[in-house]
Structure 1
Amino acid sequence: MSLESISLAAFAAAFVAASAIAEPHIMIHDPYARSAGKAAKAGAAFMTIMNHGDEADRLISVASDVAVRVELHTHQENADGVMRMMHVKEGFEIPAEGARMLDRGGDHVMFMGLTGPWKQGDVLTVTFSFEKSGDMVVDIPVDQTRTSSHGQMDHGDNKDDGDHAHHDH
C-alpha cells in the first residue's frame, strides 16, 4: 500500500468516525427564567427550541429539583375570551428544520412549588426530555428584569452565544 492510500484510508476512517458522533439536532437558544419575586410559589422559563434535523421531534417532559412540579404549559382563550394557562400533556412538537418559541403569553415551561427563591443571576438546571433526541440538560439563567425578546434574534457582540444545553445520552 502506498503512503497516499494509507493517508486516504485514515482520512476515510476519521470521516466515518466523525459522522457517527453527530451534532445534536435539537438546540436550546437564549433560555431565561423568572419568578414573581422572593415569596413566589411558581416561575416560568422561556427560550427558542431549534431542530436542525430532517425529522420533527417532540418535547415530552421537563424536570428540575428547583420545583415540586415542572410542566409544559400554554395559554388558551376560553369561551368568555379569558386567557387561561393549561398543562400540555402531549408536549410540544419541534418541527423538522424549524423552531418552537417558548415565550411569555404562549408556550412555556412552568415550575410549581418552588423549592427556594430565584434571585437575579441564579442558574437553574433543567432536564428536557425529547421523544427522539432523548434527554438534554440545560442551564437556564434567572433574569427577573428581562422583557420578552424572542423572535428578535440578537446578533450583537454578546459574549454568551446563548447555547446552554448539554446532551446526556
Structure 2
Amino acid sequence: MTFKTTFAAVIAAASFATAGFAADVTVMDSYARVSSKSAKSGAVFMMIENTSENGDRLIDARSDAAKLVQLHTHKEGDNGVMQMLHVEEGFAIPAGEIHMLQRGGDHVMLMGLTKSLAHGDNVDLTLVFEKAGEVSVTVPVDLERKPEHGEMKHSH
C-alpha cells in the first residue's frame, strides 16, 4: 500500500469515526473531554445539522461509557455563578440549521464513567431524536482541543 493510499484510508476512517447520519440529521466534529485521568465524569461536544424541512429535537443520549448520560446546559445563577443543568426536554434542532453542543453551553454529560478516558480513546454514543430516531456516533476523546475549536464564527 502506498503512502498516498494509506493516508487516504486513514482520513476516510477518521471522518466516519466522528460523524453520524440519520435521514435528515448529521452529527459532525464530535469529541469528548475529561478533566483528568481519574475524572468520574466527562462531556461530549458536537455539531448537529438538521437538513430537513421540519424541526427536530435531541431528546436523549446513551452510552456504555457512563452509568448516567444526560443532556446538559450551562446557566448563570442568581449569584452570577455558572451552573450546569439537566435539560429534560432536550435540545431543539430547527429545520435547516446547525445546533452546537460546545463548552460553556449545551452538551452531553457522561456521569459515573465506567472506565477512565485518555486522549485518543473512543466513546460509543447513541443520540435519540424525536423524529430522526437513533444516531450512533463513535466519539474520539480529545484532551488537546482548544475551547473555540469548531465554533462557528460570524462576521458582519
TM-score bracket, shorter-length normalisation: 0.7 to 0.9
Partner of 1:167: none
Percent of aligned pairs with the same residue?
48
In structure 1, distance between residues paired with 2:151 and 2:114 = 31
Partner of 2:44: 45
Query: 1:84-123 counterparts in 2 under 5 A?
Result: 84-123=83-122
Does 1:80 find its partner at 2:83?
no
| Number of positions where the alignment pairs a residue of Structure 1 with one of Structure 2 | 131
Deviation, 1:152, is 4.2
Deviation, 1:78, is 1.0
Does 1:57 find its partner at 2:51?
no
Ranges in structure 1 where 5+ consecutive residues have no aligned partner? 1-22, 154-169
Does 1:141 find its partner at 2:136?
no
Q: TM-score, normalised by structure 2?
A: 0.81
In structure 2, distance between residues paired with 1:83 and 1:152 = 22
In structure 2, distance between residues paired with 1:32 and 1:39 = 19
Deviation, 1:142, is 0.3
In structure 1, distance between residues paired with 2:150 and 2:78 = 28
CA RMSD of superposed structures (Å): 1.2
Larger CA Rg, structure 1 vs 2: 1
**One-letter identity of the residue aligned with 1:60:** I
Farther off after superposition, 87-96 or 23-32: 23-32
In structure 1, distance between residues paired with 2:79 and 2:130 = 35
- Give a deviation string over 1:73-112, Cα, whole Å, max 9, x none: 0000111111100000000000100011000000000000
Q: TM-score, normalised by structure 1?
A: 0.75
Deviation, 1:151, is 2.4
In structure 2, distance between residues paired with 1:66 and 1:106 = 22
Deviation, 1:127, is 0.4
